Amino acid sequence: MKNVTILKGQIVFTKEPEAFEIHTNSFLIAVEGVIEGIYKKLPEKYRDCLIYDYGNNIIIPGFVDLHLHAAQYPQCGMGMTKQLLDWLGDYTFDLEKEFQDPDFAKEVYTSFVDKLVACGTLRACIFASTSTTGTEQLFEVCKKKGIGAYVGKVNMDRNGPDFILESTTDSLNGTRYLLEKYGDEKLVKPIVTPRFAPTSSKKLLEGLGKLAQTYNAPVQSHLSENRDEIQWVSELFENAKSYADVYFMNNLFGQTKTLMAHGIYLQKTEINTIQEHNLILVHCPDSNINLRSGIMPVRKYLDLGLKVGLGSDIAGGHKIALNEAMVRAIQLSKILSTEDEGPDALTVSEVFYSATKLGGSFFGKVGSFEKGYSLDALVLKDELFVAKRYSLEDRLEKFIYTGDDRNIQARFVEGTLIE
């Protein structure tokens, strides 16, 4: 018999953003990590297989964090009175330089990945630091843990302190080395990661765009997060039509699959390019509050048909658990909704969809329990008096609002139990 995984319990996921799909007391079955179906009654051919029976507990897809910085994990919750550019200069760069030491990198990245997984994030798109050897450590830690990830060595060759910048050539060579070394991995893959336009020379962006094309590699960066940043970009790149155009001109904006974090202050032309080239924007609500960046108009973007995923943006965001980001996304949308003629607030199922199926689409068939999807799952555990009294939807909402790693009892990636 092939490798079969069977989970039994209360199965909840979002095929569409509008509503949860619920299968009570059912068997979720995967063969070689790929979901075969959900059944009320166990099909005869699986009669002799091992069953993970979770009884009345809820089983949901694993979370997908589309934007966070592993090398900022130690500074979560620090420097939170600053805005973006000062925060980078006064806190972040200083910490990121430490990752040139592989032992330090390994220690921090191990604790980062352990916490990430404990909190239910089983796939993530991660910025490491400018250090190539440090970034290798992050690849290895993710591989060892068994999660799915896109890992990016951060590229920056100007407008930062010397101790963190690389020459354009070293930055490109380091990226190429990682593309070669990890390009054929199954679960943990490289992603081209210019930090953001201001710390990139034209030559660096051009070179990274070429690498992305040559290796058909995905791209991640920051876009339109903070008003001072946007002004700075317009001064640095006078020939670009917009912030997005800086990336687009260099084949870093949808020519291969692309994620852009934030995108709070987008112009119409930028929105059009994002639509045409199928980019995913990553909403990072905690970070946007902490660094006083602004509020992403998520409802407006959704109404325009844009794809919006979720990110913790550690350490602009202070909490690594993605259910925290879901809550904050709803709360920010409620603030916008109180304005005259304000947009409707986001619903629980909408943010859950962003954090699972929409985010998962960057990885392939991930983030849902439909046939053909990867069996990436979390098994929740709520208090008995809650479980007995409330509906499955109420229980899931309570987990999203108040739950933490202690409320997750098991995690599976591609059908394999993660220890």
Binding positions for ligand GUN, rule: CB under 6 A: 69, 84, 88, 92, 195-196, 222, 225, 287, 313, 316
For residues 277 to 316, the per-residue mask of contacts with Fe ion, x marking binding by CB under 5 A and - elsewhere, is: ------------------------------------x---
| Residues contacting Fe ion: total by CB under 5 A | 1
92 binds, among ligand GUN, Fe ion, none (CB under 5 to 8 A by kind): ligand GUN
| Chain position carrying tokens 């009884």 | 55
Q: How far is the CB of 196 from Fe ion (least distance, A)?
A: 8
User: Which amino acid would we find at residue 273?
Assistant: T
Backbone angles phi and psi of 276, in degrees to 5: -60, -35
* Partner whose footprint covers residue 152, from Fe ion, ligand GUN, none (CB < 5 to 8 Å by kind): none
Q: Is the peptide bond before 315 cis (omega within 30 degrees of 0)?
A: yes
Nearer to ligand GUN, 51 or 85 (CB): 85
The end-to-end CA distance of the chain, in Å, is: 24
Name the binder of 153 from Fe ion, ligand GUN, none, CB < 5-8 A by kind.
Answer: none
Residue 404: both structure tokens together: 């933490």
Q: Which does 329 bind (CB under 5 to 8 A by kind): Fe ion, ligand GUN, none?
A: none
> CB neighbours of 80 closer than 8 A, spacing ≥ 6?
290, 291, 318
- By C-beta, is 145 or 318 nearer to ligand GUN? 318
Minimum CB distance to ligand GUN smaller for 8 or for 222: 222
Distances in whole angstroms, Cα of residue 305 to Cα of each of 158, 232, 262: 35, 29, 17
Per partner kind, with CB cut-offs from 5 to 8 A, the member of Fe ion, ligand GUN, none near residue 252 is: none
- 139: tokens are 């690849």
CB of 202 to ligand GUN, least distance (A): 18
- The tokens describing 331, both together, are 């709360």
Phi, psi of 41 (to 5 degrees): -120, 135
Question: Which amino acid is residue 247, in one-letter code?
Answer: Y
Q: Supply the minimum distance, in Å, between the C-beta of residue 248 and ligand GUN.
A: 18
How far is it, in rounded angstroms, from Cα 172 to Cα 32? 37
Nearest approach in angstroms of CB 407 to ligand GUN is: 28
Q: How far is the CB of 226 from ligand GUN (least distance, A)?
A: 8
Q: Which does 196 bind (CB under 5 to 8 A by kind): ligand GUN, Fe ion, none?
A: ligand GUN
Task: Say what angle helices 168-182 and 132-145 make with each other, to 10 degrees.
Answer: 20
Q: Do residues 378 and 7 lie in contact, with contact meaning Cβ atoms separated by under 8 Å?
A: no
Q: Which is nearer to ligand GUN, 113 or 261 (CB)?
A: 261
Q: Which is nearer to Fe ion, 125 or 147 (CB)?
A: 125
| Least Cβ distance, residue 150 to ligand GUN (angstroms) | 16
Is residue 290 within 8 A of residue 316, CB to CB? The reply is yes
Q: 67 or 357: whose CB is closer to Fe ion?
A: 67
* DSSP strand pairing (258-262 vs 219-223): parallel
State the minimum distance, in angstroms, from the CB of residue 119 to ligand GUN.
19
Q: Rule CB under 5 A: which residues touch Fe ion?
A: 313
